[in-house]
Structure 1
């Protein structure tokens, strides 16, 4: 994209009409919600419902199915393979939804190849296929497994092309 095209795009967004307060949350630049996850398998279903409800509140129902599936995978992995507290975070920054599942184990995910008859072992592959970005970040108390989904909407493709997000190393 040329210098002139980038600046025209920037100025067209700057001079565009302001978003009214009644507009959907899809245009929000930053939102954050966080929940503790109880250490029981029933918490996986609760996490799915909370994510779907919050995305509905934020006007992002287009992302609900994918986010629900991927949150389910990360919460299940945290409950099955770690000990200690688990926390679910949803964040909207710019044109991306970021979902994080924090736990007290510092070990990152182990990718493995599941054979055709295995009942498990495909969670990280699903995250890799469906998320635009994903990874693991060290925290002061363990790690946060996260993924990002692009928020669909008019004009978002131009903004993402002009400012591509950095992909952190795993």
Structure 2
């Protein structure tokens, strides 16, 4: 507890922030999101998690771009010592996690496994946006500073 009896902030002086990037449904957008993420985290003093955050963002955004039709958004949110990375797409179909890892000779199918292994938590929920239905798939990295 602080002197005034309030609960101390996990990272004093670090205000919550959020960035959302509307991206085209093109594979080159994944690279743009990675570079944008790196710049945002560096500016906010969170360079220590850039590599893991880039991997997670790559998987989330590439899934949205490759497996859906329509608009895609990339989102970064920092609050209470937690970095949330997410991707929204216009397809309401839930992500399909597998019960076992993809075979080694298969080139895809490991995205959600990587997200599950490299983040503290992940999930998804339906999310309407601008009159369209869709879903938001996210993951979190705690105590990222």
Using structure 2 for the length normalisation, give the TM-score: 0.86
Give the CA deviation at 1:26: 7.9
Give the CA deviation at 1:29: 3.8
Q: Show the counterpart of 2:55.
A: 69
Q: Secondary structure of 2:104's match?
A: coil
Using structure 1 for the length normalisation, give the TM-score: 0.74
Q: Secondary structure of 2:2's match?
A: helix
Q: Secondary structure of 2:36's match?
A: helix
Alignment length (residue pairs): 138
Structure 2 runs not aligned, ≥5 long: none
Distance 1:12 1:45 in 2: 46
Residue 36 of structure 1 pairs with residue 22 of structure 2: yes
Of Structure 1 and Structure 2, the greater helix share is in 1
Distance 1:14 1:99, change over 3 A: farther
Contact kept, 8 Å, 1:26 with 1:60, in 2: the verdict is: no
Distance 1:92 1:149 in 2: 10
Q: Show the counterpart of 1:118.
A: 106
Residue 100 of structure 1 pairs with residue 86 of structure 2: yes
Give the CA deviation at 1:93: 1.0
Distance 2:19 2:88 in 1: 13
- The one-character-per-residue Cα deviations of 1:40-83 (angstroms, maximum 9, x if unpaired) are 11111111000010000111001110110110001110011111
Q: Secondary structure of 2:25's match?
A: coil
Structure 1 runs not aligned, ≥5 long: 1-9, 16-24, 154-170
- Counterparts of 1:1-170 in structure 2 under 5 Å? 10-11=1-2, 27-112=13-98, 113-140=101-128, 141-153=133-145
The alignment yields a C-alpha RMSD, in angstroms, of 2.4
Give the CA deviation at 1:119: 0.7
